[in-house]
Copies of this chain bind each other. A is one copy, B any other.
Amino acid sequence: MLWFTELYSGEGMELKATGLTIRAEEAKRVKTPYQELLLLKTQDWGKVLVLDGAVQTTERDEFIYHEMIVHPAAFTFTREIERVLIIGGGDGGTVREVLKHQPKEVELVEIDREVVEVAKRELPQIAGKLSDERVKIVFTDGREFVKGKEEIYDLIIVDCSDPIGPSKVLYQEDFYRDCFKALKEDGIFITQSESPFAQNRVHKKVVKELQKVFPITRPYLAFIPTYPSGMWSFTIGSKRLDPLGVPPSALGKLYKELTEREGELKYYNPEIHYGAFAIPNFVYREE
């Protein structure tokens, strides 16, 4: 029997004095060229993927993160989604949810090949769709990959880890500007944007940088039990389409079509679509 504790860092929790503790039956450790990967087998959370000491995904609650990084933006399109770029997301969960919107092509740009290998082998329910023929996996630096691309993507999704280690460059304004250029004229950008409770300053910085680049910026929230504080955020940057501007009747119809075709979703629904954009006062008030 093993006890794994992730002690949270972040400005409110600088001293690593708070964390999530999980009992594990087994742990495998791999040192990749980019990070330390840990795979835990647990009773409460199923298999758990940990990168550099931070829980990335668990079989039990991964559906929340993966549905919520995809559907609020994807359901904002009332036309077909053709081309999607995912940066990070090597576990494949984001790909699985994006494919429910029937895009023609999904490019997944993951820097660490080992993450994809481990996910395919150990987390088939999450990674299974990585072998779909519409999916093209490129093992390279997402920051470099997006440079120079022009108006080709409907959606760009940044499914990255904390702004330390390999993901640091994915939190910067010039990266967001390159993503803006790479999007079609009605394209939408989404990034996970950390915990507004545990990493309040990082969250606000992401929103502020995106506001400099995109005419429409919309942060939203989801409950993710295994992430610091459980209060997690994503932020949409959009050129023209507003997720809060989708008429409920149109959204209801799209949602019904998708769930009839792909099966029920486990977290997202039309009420969540609008409700997730309600942000508690303290988030943008705290210094």
Interfacial residues, chain A to chain B (CB-CB below 8 A): 5, 7, 12-13, 15, 17-23, 42-45, 60-61, 63-64, 197-198, 221, 223-225, 229-231, 264-269, 271-272, 274-282, 285
A271 to B275, CA, bound (A): 8
Q: Which of B12, B64, B221, B224 contacts A44 (CB 8 A)?
A: B12
Contacts of A223 in B (CB 8 A): 197, 221, 223, 229-231, 280
Q: Chain B's nearest CB lies how many Å from the CB of A82? A: 28
Contacts of A268 in B (CB 8 A): 280-281
A266 to B286, CA, bound (A): 9
Kindly report which residue of chain B lies nearest to residue A18, judged by CB atoms: B44
Contacts of A197 in B (CB 8 A): 61, 223, 225
A267 to B61, CA, bound (A): 25
Kindly report which residue of chain B lies nearest to residue A25, judged by CB atoms: B17
Contacts of A271 in B (CB 8 A): 277-279
Q: Chain B's nearest CB lies how many Å from the CB of A265? A: 6
A42 to B266, CA, bound (A): 36
Contacts of A280 in B (CB 8 A): 64, 223, 266-269, 272
Contacts of A276 in B (CB 8 A): 275, 278
Kindly report which residue of chain B lies nearest to residue A220, judged by CB atoms: B275
**Inter-chain contact B12/A18, CB cutoff 8 Å:** no
Q: Chain B's nearest CB lies how many Å from the CB of A199? A: 12
Contacts of A21 in B (CB 8 A): 5, 7, 18-21
A280 to B223, CA, bound (A): 9
Kindly report which residue of chain B lies nearest to residue A286, judged by CB atoms: B266
